[in-house]
């Protein structure tokens, strides 16, 4: 992120029925790269203000859809997020 900001994030994905974890795990590096690209462009207010969880969940869903395919995840839980 710009300046001295950094984001540390851990999420859990609830997979759609009949989707095996390997279907997403094989793309985890590409998904992480895509998230880095989109989240690094967001401002501090977007990452810490009202609606930040929805913003991040949408970015995670977008990254998974783009890299692994659509319809694979049912829900996203933000387990940990620290903006430094």
Mean pLDDT of 67-73: 96
Burial of 54 (0-12, 13-18, 19+ CB in 10 A): exposed
Mean pLDDT of 18-47: 91
pLDDT for 3 equals 57
Work out the percent of the chain whose per-residue pLDDT is above 90: 68
Mean pLDDT of 21-42: 92
pLDDT for 2 equals 52
Mean pLDDT of 18-24: 96
pTM: 0.87
């Amino acid at each position: 992120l710009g300046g001295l900001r950094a984001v540390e994030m851990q999420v859990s994905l609830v997979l759609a029925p009949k989707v095996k974890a390997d279907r997403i795990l094989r793309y985890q590096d590409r998904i992480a790269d895509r998230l880095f690209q989109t989240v690094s462009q967001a401002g501090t207010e977007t990452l810490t203000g009202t609606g930040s969880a929805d913003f991040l969940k949408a970015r995670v869903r977008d990254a998974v859809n783009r890299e692994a395919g659509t319809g694979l995840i049912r829900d996203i839980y933000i387990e940990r997020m620290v903006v430094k």
